[in-house]
Structure 1
Amino acid sequence: MKRSTHAVRAAALAGTVALVLTACSGTDDAGTDTDTGTGGGETSASGQPLTIGTLLPVTGSLAFLGPPEIAGVDLAEQEINEAGGVLGADVEIIHADSSDAENAEVATQSVTDLLSQDVAVVIGAAASSVTLNVVDDITGAEVVQISPANTSTQLSGYDPYYFRTAPSDVLQGRALGNLLAQDGHATVGFLVFNDDYGITLRDQAKEAYEAAGGTVVYGNAGQEFDPASDDVIASVVTAALATNPDALVVISFDQTKLLVPALAAAGFDTSKLYFVDGNLADYSADFEAGLLEGSKGTLPGANAAGEFRERLLEVDPDLTDFAYSAESYDAVILSALAAVRGGATDGPTIQQNLAAVSGAEGGTECAGFAECADLLESGEEIDYEAVSGAGPFNEDNDPSAALIGIYQFGPDNKYTWVSEVPGEL
């Protein structure tokens, strides 16, 4: 049995990885065959094509994440259908907008629409706060939800039908905290909005940074700012700079476009800024050239480069950001492989087989839908080699291992990949 040779996945598989679910055979209440053993057939047991909905940001403060995530989904759909589809039928994708937490009604309506169209899987949302508003509706309908970008620790093990291909903030926080220490900053401040995402990521980074000997001088508990108020920007900047930090971590979304110019105007060296996945973006059209030169950021997942990036650009030639594109691609491929393994395209069958096709039960290493589906149809167990570098799902339906990318901004205020840090849970 061939094992994964990727360093991160090898580390994850070598450790103790709990099985999320075991394969079984049976019949559901409606009498539908839910055989979850390996080996598919020419048609699904339900007689229905695999229908996947997306709940990704087209509007709102995270709209910059939408294009790469949607491109990842569309690329996976294209490859699956070119390989003959799932159980003899083409995969069908239905796109819907998640917007953001400040426009919660958008995601709520999108979920209602998707469920009315009998989707078996929902890919999304990007924001953890959006997911927390709708996850019960999705999973309560026995529809699988797989987020390519949720990182909140609150979502680990949330529901048997909830999965994610992005790692929790534990890994990104560790990487960020260690990066701050390695860059020689003795004191650091956090400009963090009062949101579950911001607070949990701050807490994880703070823990790792302080463990390495650093001191957090601003942005501790109780010093978060209201994400809905632009009026607080000046007071937050003044309070943070009064503590004379060596570096500042900005954990926010759209507020970043107000915070950075305010910090520069107050005399702070903006090359000492650090960003996270929620605001690591192309700012070439937003800031004066050179404003962010030298600043850094972290982003979960492998760098979307080489052949994979070229294929994404064939799907969407206008892409400028590639964040979470690989995780979105992986989510669709895993869903399709789970349907093949279980022999049906309904939510419960996919839920029962996701862990197995991710490699949680061992199997032959394979890449891409066609190769992995062929192995499944020949009766073999598989270990899908995730493009994102994520390890098999653990007992909390989180990736058991992942890569955290380190990026740096150039004089054009665009970020480029510098290195990556492996981590495991």
Structure 2
Amino acid sequence: MIRSITALKVLAVAGAATVLLAGCSSGGSSTSKSSSSSTPSASKKTDPAASCKAPSTPSTDALKIGTLLPLTGSLAYLGPPAVAGAGLALSDINAAGGVLGKDATIASATDSGDSTDLTVSSSSAAKLKAAKVSVVLGAESSSVTLNVIDQITSSCTIEISPANTASSLSGYSSYYYRTAPPDSVQGSALGQKIVGDGNAKVAFLVFNDAYGTGLRDSTEKAIEAAGGSVVYGGSGKGQEFPPGQTTFSSEVTAALASKPDAIVILAFDETKSIVPELVSQGWDMSKTYMSDGNTADYSTTFKPGTLAGGQGTIPGAQASTDLKTRLNDWYQTNQGKALTDYSYAAESYDAITLTALAAEAGKGTDAPTIQANMAKVSGASGGTKCTTFADCKKLIDAGTSIQYQGPSGIGPFNKNNDPSSAYIGIYKYDANNVDVYQSSIQGAVK
């Protein structure tokens, strides 16, 4: 856990400073099998939910939620923590009397897959629409969300993601929310961390995906603002590789030829092929940085010591020991397995809790009523702070405005339905290739 004095100074400044919005995404991997027309343009101007209207009388039916989470594909490791977060939130909500006196349920649980085959998410979105859920939790991949967001929100259904970070999704639809920050926040933290560790010249190994290029752009901007430079894989250089690529000899050779002080890998499963190539060409892996797409436990993937000293970032506050215990207990009871990852579990928990509180505040479980109260219960206009559904519900019942502050640590929703502030966790790999939490930086989203 040795860290340079310079790095500590930079992190201290970053923790106190506002991190400005600029950056990008959180996607699937590999080449899409669907047509390019299935993914809407990032420059889309018309709100898909523009024609949605509140009912004359809010619905008091039991709240029905759907999930669109990665059960298969390259991001499947992120499925269990999201499932646990949603399940535990529902358990706590129903233990406190439910929503409007009725138990809330996950009425439809579907697979988002990843961007290797967008027909998976398209089919799941159709199932969710048929199930007539008011809220959809997901997707975790920004590329997947960009594939289905029109399909979901145009049917006047709320979509709330615990993990999307693409800047192109900010303000995309009035019915779209997320409890993870845009990649501008992660990119700023990652860029400052890299330069703060004493690295002046940086190379990127990045796949040509909305997630990869978007986060690269944000990180590059932060690196340059801190006095560093990008010597390979930078924006506009055309040196990205296609998602799904499996051999990286030429890319690694070219990156190392630029004589970088540090290398940033922005990819998903491709990381499992990139790392051995870097090792074979003699790269010092302690000078390697990753992000939420690939900062994970590689203890069973690589030989011990392979990633020792390497670092990565994951958006979100570190889950407390108590929350991890509760999440694991819920997952073991309901899924028969132990959780091995907690990424975005807190964000999933808060996404479900916020929608339930919005239904309570609006006295209706229909999507338009929930949508009209989402910003309100998040504290966008102030309110009494509360940390659990039960306590917040008591305040709402007493006619008191609330500001829900859940375990993810995000700030109230802003005008783009993004969290107004959020934490970015810094992780370092130990000798067993396990990413170990080091610290968090809080950044504001403008």
Aligned partner letter, 2:364: A
- Equivalent residue for 1:140? 154
Mark the CA change 1:29 to 1:338 in structure 2 (over 3 Å): closer, same or farther.
closer
Q: Residues of 2 paired with 1:404 and 1:103: CA distance?
A: 30
- Other-structure match for 1:42: none
Specify the alignment match of 2:240 in structure 1.
224
After superposition, what is the alpha-carbon deviation per residue over 1:95-119, rounded to whole angstroms, capped at 9, x for unaligned?
2110101121111111111111110
Q: Deviations over 1:136-163 (max 9, x none)?
A: 0110001000010000100000010001
Aligned to 1:67: 80
How far is the alpha carbon of 1:402 from its aligned partner? 0.5
Question: 2:422 maps to which residue?
Answer: 402
User: What is the one-letter code of the residue matched to 2:158?
Assistant: V
1:283 to 2:298 alignment: yes
Superposition map of 1:179-258 within 5 A = 179-220=193-234, 221=236, 222-231=238-247, 233-258=248-273
**Map of 1:37 onto structure 2:** none
Secondary structure class of the residue paired with 1:360: coil
Mapped contact 2:199–2:228 kept (Cα < 8 A): yes
CA distance in 1, matches of 2:410, 2:84: 19
Q: What displacement does 1:305 show?
A: 2.3
Q: Is the 8 A contact 1:60 1:103 kept in 2?
A: no
Pick one of 383, 396, 408 that aligns with 1:388: 408
Q: How does 1:152-171 map to 2 (within 5 A)?
A: 152-171=166-185
Q: 1:347: which partner in 2?
A: 367
Within-5 A mapping of 1:54-93:
54-93=67-106
Partner of residue 360 from structure 1, selected from 362, 380, 383: 380
The amino acid of 2:196's aligned partner reads Q
Q: Deviation per CA, 1:254-283, whole angstroms, max 9, x where unpaired?
A: 000000011001100111111100111111
Amino acid at match of 1:285: T
Note if contact 1:188-1:249 (Cα within 8 Å) is conserved in structure 2: yes
Q: Once the two structures are aligned, what percentage of the paired residues are identical? A: 53
- With over 3 angstroms needed to count, the CA separation of the structure-2 counterparts of 1:29 and 1:195, relative to structure 1, is closer
Structure 2: distance between partners of 1:103 and 1:62? 13
User: Which SS does the other structure have where 1:244 is aligned?
Assistant: coil
Unaligned runs of at least 5 residues, structure 1? 1-7, 13-27, 35-45
Alpha-carbon separation, structure 2, partners of 1:392 and 1:367? 13
Deviation digits for residues 281-309 of structure 1 (CA, Å, limit 9, x no counterpart): 11111100110111100011100122111
Question: Cα deviations across residues 43-85 of structure 1 (Å, max 9, x unaligned)?
Answer: xxx2311011111101001111111111100110110011110
> In 2, distance between residues paired with 1:209 and 1:255?
24
1:48 aligned partner, one-letter code: D
Give me the TM-score of the superposition, normalised by structure 1.
0.90
- Compare relative contact order (CA 8 Å, sep 6+) and give the higher one, 1 or 2: 1
Question: Which residue is 2:339 aligned to?
Answer: 319
Residue 189 of structure 2: aligned partner: 175
What's the CA shift for 1:9?
13
Q: 1:239 to 1:48 in 2, by over 3 A?
A: same
- Using a 3 Å threshold, how does the CA distance of structure 1 residues 177 and 30 change in structure 2: closer, same or farther? closer
Q: Distance in 1 between matches of 2:194 and 2:82?
A: 28
Q: 1:262: which partner in 2?
A: 277
Q: Which runs of 5+ in 2 are unaligned?
A: 1-13, 19-51, 333-337
Question: Which moves more between the two structures, 125-134 or 87-96?
Answer: 87-96
AA of the residue aligned to 1:269: D
How far, CA to CA, are the matches of 1:143 and 1:29 in structure 2?
11
Partner of 1:338: 358
Which of residues 378, 390, 394 in structure 2 aligns to 1:374?
A: 394
Provide the secondary structure at the position in 1 that maps to 2:116.
helix
Offset at 1:229? 2.5
CA contact (8 A) 1:9 1:391 kept: no
Q: Render the CA deviation track for 1:214-263: whole Å, top value 9, x for unaligned.
A: 111111121111113324x1111111111111111100000000000110
State the secondary structure of the residue aligned to 2:379: helix
Asked if structure 2 preserves the Cα contact closer than 8 Å seen for 1:190 and 1:248, the reply is yes
My pick for the range that moved more, 160-169 or 241-250, is: 241-250
Normalization by structure 2: what TM-score? 0.85
> Does the C-alpha gap of structure 1 residues 266 and 10 become closer, same or farther in structure 2, counting only changes over 3 Å?
closer
